[in-house]
Amino acid sequence: MSGLERIGETSRMTHPLDVDTMVPAVGAGTLVLQCREDDAAVRELAASLGDPRAWAETTAERTMLHILQGSCHSPIAALARTEPDGRIGLRARVISPDGKTVADAHEWERDPVLLGTAVAVSLMRQGAREILADAERAASAP
């Protein structure tokens, strides 16, 4: 959708999906700049480009991913957004390879690490570890 908006072709959109229907991959849309530790000028410039809200949202998503021991190949989706009151909302899903089993969680918290942890725990209570193990077995099957 954003690509079509960028090129002025919004009329080609026929069925836009909202993020509650199609939760994006963990970290989708996050830009990261990596630089050498000994390059003070570049580090200062990079620090000036940082967005504390984006950092907190990405931290919540990545904390959840880490606790679930997921990777970029895992069927895990997440989207964190900062609310007007300063709390961060994190919606996440773990989906079986056949799409029939879905663990879904949505929590709010001000601390991104606590938020990612709470969402991961909620997903694990719904069987996320088993879904991920099944997905790993399916991916490695001949």
The DSSP annotation for 110-127 comes to: SSHHHHHHHHHHHHHHTT
**pLDDT of 111 over the 90 cut:** yes
Task: Name the domain count of the chain.
Answer: 1
pLDDT band at 32 (very low <50, low <70, confident <90, very high): confident
pLDDT band at 15 (very low <50, low <70, confident <90, very high): confident
CATH number at residue 129: 3.30.160.40
Q: Does 11 map to a domain?
A: no
Element (H, E) at 43: helix 40-49
Q: Does 122 map to a domain?
A: yes
CA-CA distance, 89 to 113, in Å (whole number)? Answer: 12
Reported as a single tens digit per residue, the pLDDT across 118-141 is 999 999 999 999 999 999 888 887
Reported as a single tens digit per residue, the pLDDT across 63-79 is 999 999 998 889 999 99
pTM comes to 0.84
What is the residue range of 62's domain?
A: 24-140
33 phi/psi in degrees, rounded to 5: -110, 125
Q: Does 71 map to a domain?
A: yes
**pLDDT computed for residue 2 by the predictor:** 75
**pLDDT of 115 over the 90 cut:** yes
Q: Does 17 map to a domain?
A: no
CA-CA distance, 139 to 54, in Å (whole number)? Answer: 32
Q: Does 70 map to a domain?
A: yes
**pLDDT computed for residue 109 by the predictor:** 97
